[in-house]
Amino acid sequence: MTSTPRRIRLISVPYHLGRQGSGMGAGPARLLAAGIEGLLSSDGQATDVELVELPGSFEHEIGAYFEVQRALAGCVRAALKSGDFPFVLGGNCGCVLGATAGLGLGDRGGVVWFDAHGDLNTPETTTSGFLDGMPFAVLTGHCWTNLAASIPGFTGLPADRVLLSGARSLDDGERDLLDTCQLPFVGPDGLGGPGSDFEAAVRDLGTRVDSVHVHIDLDVIDVSDGRANEFAAAGGPPLDALEAAVRVIGDQAVVNSVSLTSYNPACDEDDRALAAGLRLATVLSSLTAAH
């Protein structure tokens, strides 16, 4: 599916668990400093950059986490109103909540999520208390429902309108939720281009949704291609297979927005994860065509 590319609105969300510029919150600035804006504009496609900033400080991590998503939802909504394609550079995966809320997915919107982890923990199943181990569970309506509802436009998605891809580090509680909900899932070995298990899963998803948001947590890459953050895990897909999988989405579905998150420069001593992120950003930008 191809048509005229839309102008990209790069929306930088430099927050990790509500804290600006720390940990994975430093990722967006590093990607921008490495020239991601120019890279995405190299084919003549116009690119603007917008920075999400909270109006004040928040004492509590949970409150700040969701305030970031409320601010992001407004930025995504404004980008769409201007006819731009929202490309979110986020600190962590909670940005999917704000991005999809800004989109207003309605009854026929879906999400394709690439991640080394399930992000399907809930307050009842987590053993670490790590809030960013829960956003996929929030997206699918399994926890933090009151705070999620405070994000303007947010609607929890049924399991059959999402696709988890590339995960290999799952807690027992996440596996239980994955199985109980029958959430569509393709492991690292199934990722690839035409003829892959992933292509079949995207085609199947397309029978239930009209458009998708594509999310990449950079730690989906194998550690041999770079250490994206402190949670990086072995057993990931080859970078070529991951790129091919992203292209397959563009062939099979209408993509309304994308997000690239969870890059912690402090963990990337040789800049290989940075290079992988820039490669994936280029492929994501190819999904911007208006269908």
| Residue in 113, 262, 127 with CA at minimum distance from that of residue 183 | 113
Q: What is the CA radius of gyration of the chain?
A: 17
8, 85 contact by CB (below 8 A): yes
Tokens linked to 153: 């436009």
Rounded Cα distance between 165 and 89, Å, is 19
What pLDDT score was predicted for residue 143? 97
Helix (H/G/I), strand (E/B), else coil: 151: coil
Please indicate, yes or no, if residue 1 is contained in any of the structural domains. Answer: no
**2 lies in a domain?**
no
The pLDDT of residue 6 is 82
Would you give the distance in Å from CA 90 to the centre of its chain?
8
Could you give the CA distance from residue 282 to residue 284 in angstroms, rounded to a whole number?
A: 5
**Confidence class for position 167, pLDDT limits 50, 70, 90:** very high
Give whole-number Cα distances, 40 to 89, 108, 205, 221, 279, in Å.
Answer: 13, 29, 28, 21, 10
Give the pTM. 0.95
- pLDDT at residue 23, as a whole number: 96
Residue 221 lies in a domain: yes
- Mean pLDDT in residue range 163-187: 96
pLDDT tens digit string along 16-25? Answer: 988 899 999 9
89 is a domain residue? yes
Q: Is residue 116 part of a domain?
A: yes
- CATH number of domain containing 80: 3.40.800.10
Query: How many structural domains does the chain have?
Result: 1
